[in-house]
Homo-oligomer: A and B are copies of this chain.
């Protein structure tokens, strides 16, 4: 498929797809005229790349990681070097910590959102019971 279709199906801009290729994250065939031609599996790969970016990995690390992960495409799947394994373990721990933080922030947001639609307890207790007995 061509870059426009891949962009549409993944939600990733053409600009980014070209950037991924430049960084060695994505390989594309070429038509005789020089247009990129992507295989079907590129869709999954692009989504994976996006997820890894979202997880805070940099393109260089992703580039080293990609050949080691066997996705559905069943590629050769290299073995990660001890050095890379150590780096990835650190990344994974960082991601774990980030998930914990995200959960905390999400709860904070929920709290504020819920408080905004509560009936108004100005000087009421923390419970959800109806407000102070009218005088």
Contacts and interface: CB of A to CB of B under 8 A. Distances in A.
Interface in A79-120: 79-82, 84-85, 88-89, 91-92, 95-96, 98-99, 101-106, 108-113, 115-117
Chain multiplicity (copies): 2
A112 B116 CA distance: 45
B98 A110 contact: no
A75 to B, nearest CB: 13
A51 B113 contact: no
A4 to B, nearest CB: 24
Contacts of A70: 111, 115
Interface residues of A, number: 41
A interface, over-half SS: helix
B95 A105 contact: yes
Given A54-B105, A55-B105, A101-B51, A113 B89 contact: yes
Contacts of A85: 112-113, 116-117
B69 A102 contact: no
A110 B111 CA distance: 33
Given A92-B110, A95-B109, A109-B95, A68 B102 contact: no
A54 B105 CA distance: 9
Contact of A112 (B50, B80, B106): B80
Listed from nearest, the 3 A-B pairs whose CB atoms lie closest are: A55-B105, A80-B116, A92-B109
